[in-house]
Amino acid sequence: MTTKAMLQFVSRDKEMPAKRKAEARKGDFLEIYDDFNDEKAALQAGRCSQCGVPFCQTHCPLQNNIPDWLMLTAEGRMQEAYEVSAATNTFPEICGRICPQDRLCEGNCVIEKGFESVTIGAVERHITETAFENGWVKPPQPMSERTETIGIIGAGPAGLAAAEQLRRQGYQITVYDRYDRVGGLLIYGIPGFKLEKEVVTRREALLRDGGIRFELNCQIGDDISFDQIKKKHDAVLIATGVYKARDIELKGKSDSDDQIVPALDYLTASNRLGLGDNVAAHASGQLDVKGKNVVVIGGGDTAMDCVRTAIRQEAKSVTCVYRRDRANMPGSAREVMNAEEEGVKFEWLSQPTGLARDADGKVAGVICQRSRLGAADTSGRQSPEPIENSDYRLDADMVIMALGFDPEDMPNMFHEPRLKVSRWGTISIDWRTMMTSVDGVFAAGDIVRGASLVVWGIRDGRDAATQIDGWLTRQAADKEISAEQKAAS
């Protein structure tokens, strides 16, 4: 039943949490948005019109029960709001911070037309932050232990969401990761100004407290064979993400150009520096952008993270080159706006074609050609068409390639030819069971979908956990029946 706390969107304006001024936030890697306080969260949640068919919910990959937790927040019933929110989302405080809400829940909020959407993400974050402050967020606590063990390869959001849910069911979980820290791209990809690292390590601590084991610095297929992992565990989940950087042809580019850098190398180095690690490529100056003209090629979230990182590292100039226009950019509109506020220059409808060099042969610029949008391609997006004789040069001491990622060659990496992959190299699964072509081996997250979003990783991890639980339970029942039949015969 709708209470009088709700439906306030006509008289109450949308307000986002306070955002730090660009000048202040450029000097550090701290998050740029504050958390709401209780009063603000309640007032903003109360703008919701409690739709009978909530489009916000249908466009949330986790199908979060948004209207209910908004109402509970508006009424100040925060513990109940947390319980409803946590029932469908393993890491709501992370999604509240970094989901592209403008493309998901908020972009589909019905009051968006005319009144501006409810600030769903910010309220979701506030609910879980309140829960942490009050000690309501607990480690996974199984009602009873099960003997089956599950090996999860990859400690990113997909692997961690599955680990948490399976541990709650009482399974013995080991998560393997080739990195030295838990979190996957939450730790080494996404910069602190979007997601402070403590938010991730706080979750890691809870998972460890709940009895989940982590084997880090452990590359499966290299340090331990995939076959050994399969033999060691009753079920295996592959959640290894996608890491092979895409490239483009640039006239005059050579493999020895150390001024041309893949986006993830740059972001990982920056995140490591922030975590206090020594980064040789930064110390040597190769990945240090201070005082340099930086050109970032690409228009997705990764490109936005690179340009905003370069601003914080005191680059002389930062330019983002994208071949389509602003409206067709794959990155979140909010992130583009934040980047512009921080001083990033955008070159829309511009296609890099080659490199310019100085007298010593060092890269000194990127040659670009202007383009216009032509006919739509198979995906329905208009394709950029080059404009003749429109070449121009951008000064560049460092060029960062942020053109997206493809999967590594999984069957070869795991020496497992039975592992079927799609024509894009992603692992093929039966979507009803989340199982791969190898019996007892499941897969989830980017390695199945291709480069996607954290919220989809969580969704897939949770779905895989449900399927693994069902499969192991059926296996145990089958074993019991055959043991009984053996005893009876």
For ligand SF4, the binding residues (CB under 6 A) are 48-51, 54-56, 60, 62, 64, 66-67, 89, 95-96, 99, 101, 104-105, 109-111, 118, 120-121, 124, 455
In terms of CB distance, is 109 or 297 closer to ligand SF4?
Answer: 109
Going by C-alpha positions, the residue among 66, 121, 179, 156 that lies closest to residue 334 is 121
124 binds, among ligand SF4, ligand FAD, none (CB under 5 to 8 A by kind): ligand SF4
Cα(55)–Cα(66) distance, integer angstroms: 10
Q: Is 241 in the site for ligand FAD (CB under 6 A)?
A: yes
Query: What SS3 string covers 346-401?
Result: EECCEEEEEEEECCCCCEEEEEEEEEEEEEECCCCCEEEEEEEEEEEEEECCEEEE
In terms of CB distance, is 151 or 156 closer to ligand SF4?
Answer: 156
Residue numbers 324-383 binding ligand FAD by CB under 6 A: none
Instruction: Judge contact between 25 and 186, C-beta under 8 A.
Output: no
Instruction: Judge contact between 140 and 169, C-beta under 8 A.
Output: no
Select the residue interacting with ligand FAD from 5, 6, 41, 155 (CB under 6 A). Answer: 155
Which tokens hold the place of 250? 């640039």
Amino acid present at 94: I
Going by C-alpha positions, the residue among 214, 199, 318 that lies closest to residue 266 is 318
Stretch that binds ligand FAD, among 102-110, 153-161, 206-214, 282-290 (CB under 6 A): 153-161
Instruction: Judge contact between 97 and 110, C-beta under 8 A.
Output: no
In terms of CB distance, is 89 or 350 closer to ligand SF4?
Answer: 89
Select the residue interacting with ligand FAD from 73, 302, 371, 436 (CB under 6 A). Answer: 302
194 binds, among ligand SF4, ligand FAD, none (CB under 5 to 8 A by kind): ligand FAD
437 binds, among ligand FAD, ligand SF4, none (CB under 5 to 8 A by kind): none
In terms of CB distance, is 45 or 99 closer to ligand FAD?
Answer: 99
In terms of CB distance, is 119 or 270 closer to ligand FAD?
Answer: 270
101 binds, among ligand SF4, ligand FAD, none (CB under 5 to 8 A by kind): ligand SF4
Which tokens hold the place of 94? 């992370």
Going by C-alpha positions, the residue among 418, 469, 467, 477 that lies closest to residue 444 is 467
Q: Give least dist CB 21 to ligand SF4, A.
A: 25
60 binds, among ligand FAD, ligand SF4, none (CB under 5 to 8 A by kind): ligand SF4
Q: Is 151 in the site for ligand FAD (CB under 6 A)?
A: no
Cα(473)–Cα(478) distance, integer angstroms: 9
Helix and strand numbers (H, E) in the chain are 19, 15
Select the residue interacting with ligand FAD from 452, 466, 475, 476 (CB under 6 A). Answer: 452
Amino acid present at 226: F
Instruction: Judge contact between 241 and 153, C-beta under 8 A.
Output: no
55 binds, among ligand FAD, ligand SF4, none (CB under 5 to 8 A by kind): ligand SF4
Q: Is 225 in the site for ligand FAD (CB under 6 A)?
A: no
Q: Count the neighbouring beta carbons within 10 Å of the beta carbon of residue 452.
A: 17
Instruction: Judge contact between 175 and 220, C-beta under 8 A.
Output: no
Which tokens hold the place of 33? 């948005």
Stretch that binds ligand FAD, among 28-36, 127-135, 149-157, 425-433 (CB under 6 A): 149-157
Instruction: Judge contact between 434 and 391, C-beta under 8 A.
Output: no
Beta bridge partners of 354: 251, 367
Stretch that binds ligand FAD, among 60-68, 219-227, 415-423, 430-438 (CB under 6 A): 219-227
Select the residue interacting with ligand FAD from 446, 463, 465, 472 (CB under 6 A). Answer: 446
How many chain residues are in contact with ligand FAD, going by CB under 6 A?
37
Q: Which residue has the tokens 């909020």?
A: 109
Amino acid present at 292: K
Q: Is 176 in the site for ligand FAD (CB under 6 A)?
A: yes
Q: Which residue has the tokens 């209780």?
A: 38
Give the β-pairing of 398-401 and 293-297: parallel
Cα(400)–Cα(296) distance, integer angstroms: 5
Q: Give least dist CB 118 to ligand FAD, A.
A: 19
Amino acid present at 419: L
Q: Is 70 in the site for ligand FAD (CB under 6 A)?
A: no
Which tokens hold the place of 208? 């460890």
Q: Give least dist CB 283 to ligand SF4, A.
A: 38
Q: What is the dihedral of CA 282, 285, 286, 292, to 10 degrees?
A: 110
In the complex, which residues of this chain contact ligand FAD (CB under 6 A)? 98-99, 153-159, 176-179, 184-185, 189-190, 194, 219-221, 239-241, 264, 267, 301-302, 305, 413, 445-446, 452-455, 457
